[in-house]
Chain A
Amino acid sequence: MHKLDLIIQKEGNSQDRLIPILWEIQKDIGCISLDTQTDLSKKLNLSPAEIQEVVSFYHFFSEEYRGKHQIYIDSSIIADFHDRNQIKTTFENELKINTGSVTPCGTFGLFETSCIGMSDQSPAVLIDFIPVPSLTVEKVKIILNSLKNGIKLEEIILSLGLGDGANSSNYIQSNINNNIVKKGHFLFKKWSKGEAISIASQMSPENIIQVISDSGLKGRGGAGFPTGLKWKLAKEVPSDKKYIVCNADEGEPGTFKDRVLLTEFIGLLLEGMIIASKAVGASKGYIYLRGEYSYLKNHIERQILDFKESGFINSFPIEVFLGAGAYICGEESALLESLEGKRGEPRIKPPFPVEQGLFGCPTVVNNVETFVLAAQIIRFGHESFSSLGTESSRGIRLLSISGDVEKPGIYEYEWGVSISEILRDCKAIEPTFVQVGGPSGTMISNKEFDRKISHDDLPTGGSFMVFSKKRSLFDILSNFMDFFVDESCGNCTPCRAGNVILRDLLTKVKTGKARPSDLNKIKDWGNIVSKTSRCGLGMTSPNPLLTSLKSMPEYFENAITNKDENFLDFDIEQATAEYKEFHNE
């Protein structure tokens, strides 16, 4: 049978299977050519254009061949500051190609991609979608030589000792460190399989929702929406079908806590989802796993099977759905579009997913950590959680700490902890700036280290990046703006066009070409993008610029070398050279 037919036979031919089908083709053939798209369109009863719309949206799908071994270099700022360029150059020199291309023999393809969730063991790359962390120039050479000699990647990683691989599962095809540095007293209470589900089975849906509400749990994906209320709203909408979706897209640069939760706390995650399904009356669950974490898919599926065999999920199947490289698919409505097999463009809200979510049905979308915490809350009661943290921010918060620190990794804190305490714990090295909450969060300077992690001071989705005094503020900001320009979905004007303009403006400041009035432009234009954008991406993309300009204007002022507003910074001879040549002057 033709390969495509086999794939479709396995996946089915409805549009919501499009992304899994495209993944299989991409992995199998190394590309999804226009011819393949045409073939596929006939079999799926879509137009070729509808398939191209999707293929061209996702970073890991490609019309051109990406090579037998596909290498993706992490382009996050943390990787940048861990000699990423040296690693990149080594790959380029060894393979004799530029980034963004494939070797003539087709064996290797070298590309870049946004943060792959390995900031605690940077610089890292994905090779054939398996993370290879803690790279050095030497190791890159060994890896490439071994791959050329046909040695399997898993064996190479193992022999190089890149990570301890000490996670809870044999099904994870990678050797990375968990780096759990600070265990607090809530999340790390010992798990006993099925306990949370069994407690919940004695409770009514209203009761479950009440406990979650009383605990004060707010969503851990960044927006901080009260979880109990979300479940209640979904419960109240009458519908035959409802869905529970776990958002495991973890795309915010600098976060990797969901990566660790997915390996070390997968049981609690599944229990949290099952409890949510009981609370709202949902019949199916999805785990939307970012493509960068595809190496965890087997492990998660194995655990789901284990739960099934234990009789915990008879009427609530849970499916792992692989994203394909798009930060915007972490936005819940874009995620749902993606689950339906479409481009990940955010929907218009209202209606919210709890009213009309996946396939138009009420849907609860929660972050990985939210489900894990919910299961713990059911086990230990709402007070075990609400007694921790602060008034506005109850309970604990996992932080993914990276950058210029001696001990990068996962830290469990009560909300309300001060930046300086965190910096002490992780042994920060001459901390000068901290980016709280990833590029979409807040940049603070060392004058503000008494501020606190909380919903009313410094909210965060978990990313915590520390920068020492040898780092350039403008390098950091440029990396963030590049990220937003790359990851904007393109649907709305301010984010699509505005971020490009903000980036250009920043480049002007960075290269010393800005004039004093440009600083006001940063404020005004940033305000335009954040106020008029359609979704959270554009609403927050100016944050790093706006917050750093506010908290450390002196850096910006010092970057303006010429205060004369009307000074034109160009070489008249050079600018008119072509004209003169043409006119033989």
Chain B
Amino acid sequence: MSSPKKIPITVDGKKYDVPKNINLVEALSSQGIRVPTLCWYKGMDDCLGTCRVCTVNVNGRPSAACTLNTTEEMKIEFDTSELNDLRKSIIELLFVEGNHYCPSCEKSGDCLLQAEAQALEMTHSRFPYEFNHYEIDYSGEMIILERNRCVHCKRCTELFTNDDGEKVFSFIGKGKDTQVVINKETEKSLSKHKAQEAMDLCPVGAILVKGEGFKTPYGERKFEKEPLWIKK
């Protein structure tokens, strides 16, 4: 295979050559520019475009970087005070919409929301806390759904299926009342391994495998060992 065609793009006034028609977040990352993401992760086929944490300016218009592929002469603004603040504000919005008590959370240290908040130097939320009420669903065989922490990224509803290819999680309701539900029938048949996959897929501590939450001790967790804010 021939290597993909390289095209010029501009990021904050600097020119870069990147492969054509690849995901913009990956393209920027290959140039050492880390775009914050929450619903997107490296290697996913289709983006979800739900969280908007990856907002950058493309040709003068704000867009979610993870939803775009590189095109010739793309003009990107990334590291401006306004854009940095926009991205941070979305993380802050998620903190006030949900109820995130990191010190008691099974996912603390493995949580992408927490890691991005730290990387974006969020010290508090500018928005008033909503103190919304969410039901925790303990009724699964393997899985606990801790809705207080759900960021509605849709990873679980769009990307996760059981071994038979059936959906286990879905979105019900609309707007601020949208919530994830577990499909009891398909959840029953999950192996422990599959359930763990769901927990790992969820960027926050909303999907938990019963009895596994604190298996890795604090201090040895993913973002504790490799924090996002340390520039490589």
Q: Which residues of B lie under 8 Å from residue A496 when comparing CB positions?
A: 97, 152, 175-176, 178
Within 8 Å of chain B (Cβ to Cβ): is A85?
no
Of B47-55, B100-108, B135-143, B223-231, the segment with at least 4 beta carbons within 8 Å of chain A is B47-55
Chain A binding surface SS class = helix
A53 vs B183: C-alpha distance in the bound complex, in angstroms?
Answer: 11
Tell me the smallest distance from the CB of A491 to a CB of chain B, in Å. 6
A525 vs B86: C-alpha distance in the bound complex, in angstroms?
Answer: 9
| Given A492-B51, A500-B130, A501-B128, also A487-B175 (CB < 8 A) | yes
Within 8 Å of chain B (Cβ to Cβ): is A489?
yes
Within 8 Å of chain A (Cβ to Cβ): is B80?
no
The reply to whether B50 and A493 form a contact with Cβ atoms under 8 Å apart is yes
A532 vs B54: C-alpha distance in the bound complex, in angstroms?
Answer: 9
Within 8 Å of chain A (Cβ to Cβ): is B186?
yes
Among A350, A492, A533: residue with most chain B CB under 10 A: A492
What 0/1 readout, one digit per residue, does chain A (463-489) give for beta carbons within 8 Å of chain B? 000000000000000000000011111
| Given A498-B93, A528-B89, also A49-B178 (CB < 8 A) | no
The residue from A48, A52, A350, A485 contacting B176, defined by CB atoms under 8 A apart: A485
Within 8 Å of chain A (Cβ to Cβ): is B67?
yes
The residue from B50, B86, B186 contacting A492, defined by CB atoms under 8 A apart: B50
Within 8 Å of chain B (Cβ to Cβ): is A86?
no
Within 8 Å of chain B (Cβ to Cβ): is A534?
yes
A49 vs B169: C-alpha distance in the bound complex, in angstroms?
Answer: 8
The reply to whether B174 and A56 form a contact with Cβ atoms under 8 Å apart is yes
The reply to whether B166 and A47 form a contact with Cβ atoms under 8 Å apart is yes
The residue from B50, B62, B175, B181 contacting A486, defined by CB atoms under 8 A apart: B175
The residue from B47, B128, B171 contacting A504, defined by CB atoms under 8 A apart: B128
Within 8 A of A (CB), among B131-169: 151-152, 154, 166-167
A528 vs B62: C-alpha distance in the bound complex, in angstroms?
Answer: 11
A488 vs B152: C-alpha distance in the bound complex, in angstroms?
Answer: 14
The residue from B172, B174, B176, B183 contacting A497, defined by CB atoms under 8 A apart: B176
The reply to whether B49 and A534 form a contact with Cβ atoms under 8 Å apart is yes
| Given A343-B171, A501-B96, A534-B52, also A49-B181 (CB < 8 A) | yes
Within 8 Å of chain B (Cβ to Cβ): is A348?
yes
Within 8 Å of chain B (Cβ to Cβ): is A326?
yes
| Given A52-B181, A501-B128, A531-B62, also A489-B175 (CB < 8 A) | yes
The reply to whether B130 and A326 form a contact with Cβ atoms under 8 Å apart is no
Q: Which residues of A lie under 8 Å from residue B67 when comparing CB positions?
A: 348
What 0/1 readout, one digit per residue, does chain A (311-352) give for beta carbons within 8 Å of chain B? 000000000000000100000000000000001000010100
Within 8 Å of chain B (Cβ to Cβ): is A94?
no
Nearest residue in A to B62 (C-beta to C-beta)? A531
Within 8 Å of chain B (Cβ to Cβ): is A490?
yes
Q: Which residues of A lie under 8 Å from residue B52 when comparing CB positions?
A: 492-494, 532-534
Among B47, B86, B127: residue with most chain A CB under 10 A: B127
The reply to whether B90 and A534 form a contact with Cβ atoms under 8 Å apart is no
The reply to whether B175 and A490 form a contact with Cβ atoms under 8 Å apart is yes
Tell me the smallest distance from the CB of A216 to a CB of chain B, in Å. 24
A343 vs B50: C-alpha distance in the bound complex, in angstroms?
Answer: 15
A566 vs B171: C-alpha distance in the bound complex, in angstroms?
Answer: 42
The reply to whether A57 and B176 form a contact with Cβ atoms under 8 Å apart is no
The reply to whether B93 and A501 form a contact with Cβ atoms under 8 Å apart is yes
A490 vs B154: C-alpha distance in the bound complex, in angstroms?
Answer: 11
Q: How many A-B contacts are there with CB distance less than 8 Å?
A: 115
A528 vs B128: C-alpha distance in the bound complex, in angstroms?
Answer: 15
The reply to whether A49 and B175 form a contact with Cβ atoms under 8 Å apart is no
The reply to whether A326 and B174 form a contact with Cβ atoms under 8 Å apart is yes
The reply to whether B174 and A57 form a contact with Cβ atoms under 8 Å apart is yes
Q: Which residues of B lie under 8 Å from residue A489 when comparing CB positions?
A: 174-175
A277 vs B92: C-alpha distance in the bound complex, in angstroms?
Answer: 47
The reply to whether A492 and B49 form a contact with Cβ atoms under 8 Å apart is yes
Q: Which residues of A lie under 8 Å from residue B47 when comparing CB positions?
A: 348
Q: Which residues of A lie under 8 Å from residue B130 when comparing CB positions?
A: 497, 500-501
The residue from B62, B128, B151 contacting A493, defined by CB atoms under 8 A apart: B151
Within 8 Å of chain A (Cβ to Cβ): is B173?
yes
| Given A490-B176, A490-B177, A496-B178, also A52-B170 (CB < 8 A) | yes
Within 8 Å of chain A (Cβ to Cβ): is B94?
yes
What 0/1 readout, one digit per residue, does chain A (233-270) give for beta carbons within 8 Å of chain B? 00000000000000000000000000000000000000
Within 8 A of B (CB), among A498-514: 498, 500-501, 504
Q: Which residues of B lie under 8 Å from residue A326 when comparing CB positions?
A: 174
Q: Which residues of B lie under 8 Å from residue A52 when comparing CB positions?
A: 170, 172, 181
Tell me the smallest distance from the CB of B133 to a CB of chain A, in Å. 14
The reply to whether B90 and A490 form a contact with Cβ atoms under 8 Å apart is no
The reply to whether B172 and A56 form a contact with Cβ atoms under 8 Å apart is yes
Within 8 Å of chain A (Cβ to Cβ): is B64?
yes
| Given A348-B67, A525-B127, also A488-B97 (CB < 8 A) | no
Tell me the smallest distance from the CB of B77 to a CB of chain A, in Å. 12
Within 8 Å of chain B (Cβ to Cβ): is A50?
yes
Q: Which residues of A lie under 8 Å from residue B93 when comparing CB positions?
A: 493-494, 497-498, 501, 528
Within 8 Å of chain A (Cβ to Cβ): is B79?
no
Among A486, A497, A533, A534: residue with most chain B CB under 10 A: A497
Q: Which residues of A lie under 8 Å from residue B178 when comparing CB positions?
A: 490-491, 496
| Given A488-B175, A493-B52, A497-B176, also A50-B170 (CB < 8 A) | yes
Within 8 Å of chain A (Cβ to Cβ): is B212?
no
A492 vs B47: C-alpha distance in the bound complex, in angstroms?
Answer: 13
What 0/1 readout, one digit per residue, does chain A (51-72) give for beta carbons within 8 Å of chain B? 0110011000000000000000
Q: Which residues of B lie under 8 Å from residue A493 when comparing CB positions?
A: 50-53, 90, 93-94, 97, 151-152
Nearest residue in A to B97 (C-beta to C-beta)? A497
A47-B167, A491-B154, A534-B52 known; 5 new pairs, CB 8 Å cut-off, are A48-B183, A56-B174, A485-B176, A490-B177, A500-B97
16 A-B pairs (CB sep. < 8 Å): A47-B183, A48-B185, A49-B167, A52-B181, A57-B172, A487-B175, A488-B175, A489-B175, A490-B152, A490-B174, A491-B152, A494-B52, A497-B97, A501-B128, A531-B55, A532-B62
Residues of A within 8 A of B (CB): 47-50, 52-53, 56-57, 326, 343, 348, 350, 485-494, 496-498, 500-501, 504, 525, 528, 531-534
Q: Which 3 A-B pairs have the closest CB atoms?
A: A490-B178, A497-B97, A49-B170
Residues of B within 8 A of A (CB): 47, 49-53, 55, 62, 64, 67-68, 86, 89-90, 93-94, 96-97, 127-128, 130, 151-152, 154, 166-167, 170-178, 181, 183, 185-186
